[in-house]
Structure 1
Amino acid sequence: MEGMLGQVPSWMENLAEPASEHSWGLFRDLNLGTDTELAAREKALIGVAVAAAINCPYCTYFHTEEARLSGVADAELKETVNLAADTKYFSTILHGNETDLDEFRTETDEIVEHIMEQQAAADD
């Protein structure tokens, strides 16, 4: 950890001993690892969005700085946070109104099919 981060962050010392090595491995391999399906930039933007959605100032700060290290511009960070807020907003509406999930899926599939048809027509 110290070799990769230059230090052992104090918050990592709060992990219970049976979980400390495992937790560091998850953090290292998923967040900082390069042998993953997502690029560092993509992972950082996901981190920013999730951190904003769960209202975690620690995660928001970390993932924002991580995103900046990956070359993410401030305008992209703002858009990422807005997308997270948009998802949380509509999730609240869907859950609060107990929207039928099967109907939602059917409508979404129809929308996707329509958009694909529009894109195919534009490509012709």
Structure 2
Amino acid sequence: MEIEESLGQVPSWMETIAEPAGDHSWGLFRDLTFGETELTAREKALVGVGVAAAISCPYCTYFHKQEARLDEVSEVELEETVNIASETRYFSTILHGNEVDVDEFVAETDEIVDHIKEGEAAAADD
């Protein structure tokens, strides 16, 4: 069985996935986690840590931290990843709770990005 060859076992939690979703779920996990994608394995692990922390999932947090450690992510980098996820969730709560207009937010963000690019270009010219 492919999953056992890849992981050394079939994790018990994967056996709880109802058919016909089992094979599909393994394929999704395999291809995104272990497959060659635009993101490196290290980057994917850090994304996983951030999302797991943001959704408060102890299972995913443990898995993705272990995955990140396999890619030599330091404890300081893991802490920073969790802090960034926390900051994103914090501001998302503010934006959603205060029903900030999405179009206005997009326009302001684009203006901020343009301002930063202009500053970087000016600094490069100096």
> Does residue 75 of structure 2 align to residue 64 of structure 1?
no
Any gaps of 5 or more consecutive residues in structure 2? none
TM-score (norm 2): 0.96
Report percent identity of matched pairs.
72
Match of 1:36 in 2: 37
Aligned residue for 2:20, secondary structure, equals: helix
Q: Partners in 1 of 2:34 and 2:53 — Cα distance?
A: 20
> Does residue 16 of structure 2 align to residue 14 of structure 1?
yes
Match of 1:108 in 2: 109
Give the aligned CA root-mean-square deviation in angstroms: 0.5
CA displacement, residues 90-119 of structure 1 (integer Å, 9 cap, x when unaligned): 000000000011111110000000000000
Q: Equivalent residues in 2 for 1:68-87 (5 A)?
A: 68-87=69-88
Which amino acid counterpart does residue 101 of structure 1 have in structure 2?
V
Runs of 4+ more than 2 Å apart: none
Report the count of equivalent residues: 123
Q: Partners in 2 of 1:21 and 1:66 — Cα distance?
A: 22
Q: Partners in 2 of 1:71 and 1:121 — Cα distance?
A: 36
Deviation of 1:32 (Å): 1.4
TM-score (norm 1): 0.98
